Chain A
Amino acid sequence: MKKYKVLLLVVIFVFSLLTACQPETIIKEVEVPGETIIEEVEVPGETIIEEVEVEVPSKTLVFSSRLFSPPREQEFFISEVIKPFEEEHGVTVDFSIIDDDTLLERAEVQQTTDHVTTDIVVAHNGRMPEWIENGWVEDLTDVVAGWDDRTFSETFSQDTNKDGKQYFLPVGADVYLLLANNKALPYLPEGVDIDAITWEEYAAWAVAIAEGEGEGKVCITGIPSKSWVYMFGGTGLSYGAGFPDINSAGAAEAWKIWETIGKADGFVPTVLNIDSCVDPMMREESWLTVFHNARAGQVFASNETQYTLAPAPSGPEGIGSIAGVSGYAVMKGSANYDLAIAFLEYLTRPDIQVKIAKGTGGFIPPVEEAIAFLGDEAIDEVINKAVLVLNNGVVSGVPAGNYQDWGAVKKCFDDIFEDTVLAGVDVTQERLDEGQACVDALLNE
């Protein structure tokens, strides 16, 4: 009996081995109203790859994105945004989430082997320089000029454009907002308007919470190379510092704010293990944080009656915030250029941008005409406050392209946080100078 089972197992294995060794046929079935055309690409077990190209009016668009990664957002994007386009044009859009590093790796493989299969990519602005410098994305300047009903926000042109040419179409902008659990509200200092809070008031608030609760409740991402550099950067910008400054006058004042919180043990005890403030805020481990609006929106949506959202705190120079954005681009050498452009036209329409923004956690639609389409639900409030920060605040992008490795720059900031702020000691000018040297050493030659 046992022998027969083993034999059966072997038969199954061998069978699967045989089926695997057959020429792999990638069949793409595409439905055109009226007819079904099958495109067959046969790959025999040799080095020669033969492609049989059939002239078909409808195609498959391959769309690889680093944005909309949360499962809910994926679901939303597929069924509410992609589906209508597919139905209208009679095409299929193959949508997949891929992180920035893998996107670049794949692009390198595709471009060097001259076998481009991806049509549209969505990359984060920090990596856009790499895409543009390597020449892997198409120049869309003329295309954009042909669209007269939308104006892309100028804030991001330093990343999406180069030498006067536009390569990326911005989508999903985010700025920093203040998120507080309502349990923290009793500790808000007298007379402070949360929608116009200053950094000093924020620090006082954090200290009050720590003293009242016996435990710190402010969340920052303590795991190295995550978001601390941006959280600090916002404070720095509020005091007139540049980004990423460490030892300038404005930055030093910004460090003092955080030093105050650190000395009062205002951070959550587990701060060094946090890589994103979403989970700690949702678990109510932390009650107060300043982080980017889409994730703030996600926490807010989990219970709108339990949280309060406000613009990021301000300093003498205004509300400082780091602004990030992602961008759509067409892969150079894509076989479906026209279809890709049509899809991008659809995606960047102001009303569609707002639809996307609302369905995916509250990103800012970086198209000026989109504001008109906002309503008055809580999510619209998130977007409104974020837009406020974007338009009126002291905003900076991420100059990642200037440095050898942006993660290493982040680490310079993380080290200062760990050595001084978290340790509850004074942030000395010497330490800041060291940190600045650390950052400067990473500049590209």
Chain B
Amino acid sequence: MAVATRAKSSRKFWTKVTPYLLILPVVVYYAVFWLRPVFSTIVGSFRDASGAFTFENYLMVFTDPDFIPALRNTAILVVFSVTLEFLLALFLALLINRKFTGSAVFLFLAMIPMALPSVAVGAMWLTGLTSHGWINSLLYYLGVEQKIYWLAGSEWSLLALIIVIDAWTVIPSVMIILLAGLQNIPKEVEEAGYVFGGDYLTVLRKIIIPILNPTIQTAVILRLISAIQIWLVIVLLVGFSRLPVLVERIVYYHEEMSGLNISFQMASGYTIIVTAIVSIAALFYLRLSGAFGKSKEVR
């Protein structure tokens, strides 16, 4: 009897300790390599040029004339991008999951945009969108002689353009997460839905999506975090300051306009504020989608 109890409490001990052991490497890793630089950046954001403690940096950012536009542009981009990209990625993932003949080839082709480095993406779109570029050339061959000045439009047309281009690059990466999640939904479950009289959309809504929920949450939260930090594609296409977004402001004060007395302070201030915004948005989404407070296990 005593042996059995000891064995049982030993097992209980391991059950309690195992998760912490599994998490330990991550925690140690981040503590060593990430925590210190981040901590010093945070501390630095509360310092002004002479090293004294101050909220001045944050004040400067909030009163920066580019702050509101950056915030607004980022918000618009995020809302439309994430929604559009998620829906299209889901569509593609469901399509490929049907495993029709040639779906492997199609998957490969659909993944190519995400494999391109930013230098290639930049060259590709710049040479396309310029007034003598390949998009206008293609239109010319199709009979449209009027050149369209893609990049010379209003801020709204630029935003729309960025959303499209970003979607093109990013959809494959969202798609593969969703596709990976779909692999574990057994066909029987799906078929059961049809047997009980559901059509495709109902099966989708009531069976597949709920089971896919953790994967959807992961895909959306990762996409959300990346989307708020968009900047490279915008700078490649229109340069700095033309369409300000949050992280573009950070890079601006860190790299492009780094010699000003206020540069370091602006960069630090923006960095912390961006982090705060991203955290709040992420928290908001996770609360909303119910990721917290449920230990979900699939039966």
Contact = CB atoms under 8 A, between A and B. Distances in A.
Given A404-B259, A405-B257, A407-B256, A272 B242 contact: yes
B257 A273 contact: no
A101 B130 CA distance: 28
A270 interface: yes
Given A224-B239, A284-B132, A269 B259 contact: no
Given A283-B132, A284-B132, A285-B130, A408 B242 contact: no
Contact of B239 (A223, A285, A403, A442): A223
Interface in A283-317: 283-285
Contacts of B259: 403-408
B240 A224 contact: yes
Given A269-B149, A272-B152, A405 B239 contact: no
A270 B242 contact: no
A293 B35 CA distance: 49
A275 interface: yes
A269 B240 contact: no
B263 interface: yes
A81 B202 CA distance: 72
Interface in B243-297: 255-261, 263
A213 interface: no
A273 B257 CA distance: 19
B168 to A, nearest CB: 20
A190 to B, nearest CB: 31
Given A224-B240, A224-B241, A101 B255 contact: yes
Contacts of A268: 131
B151 interface: yes
Contacts of A411: 241, 257
Interface residues of B, number: 20
Given A223-B239, A224-B239, A404-B261, A273 B130 contact: yes
Interface in A255-289: 268-270, 272-273, 275, 279-280, 283-285
A153 interface: no
A362 B214 CA distance: 61
B238 interface: yes
A155 interface: no
Contact of A269 (B152, B255, B258, B261): B152
Nearest to B259: A405
A442 B263 CA distance: 12
A406 B260 CA distance: 9
A426 B149 CA distance: 26
A225 B242 CA distance: 12
A339 to B, nearest CB: 34
Given A224-B241, A283-B130, A285-B131, A270 B260 contact: no
Interface in A49-76: none
B131 A270 contact: yes
A369 B215 CA distance: 72
22 contacts: A101-B255, A224-B241, A225-B256, A268-B131, A270-B149, A270-B151, A270-B152, A272-B152, A272-B238, A272-B242, A273-B152, A273-B238, A275-B239, A283-B132, A285-B130, A285-B131, A404-B259, A404-B261, A405-B258, A405-B259, A406-B259, A407-B259
Interface of B: 130-132, 149, 151-152, 237-242, 255-261, 263
Interface of A: 101, 223-225, 268-270, 272-273, 275, 279-280, 283-285, 403-408, 411, 442
User: Which 3 A-B pairs rank lowest in CB-CB distance, beginning with the nearest?
Assistant: A405-B259, A223-B239, A283-B132
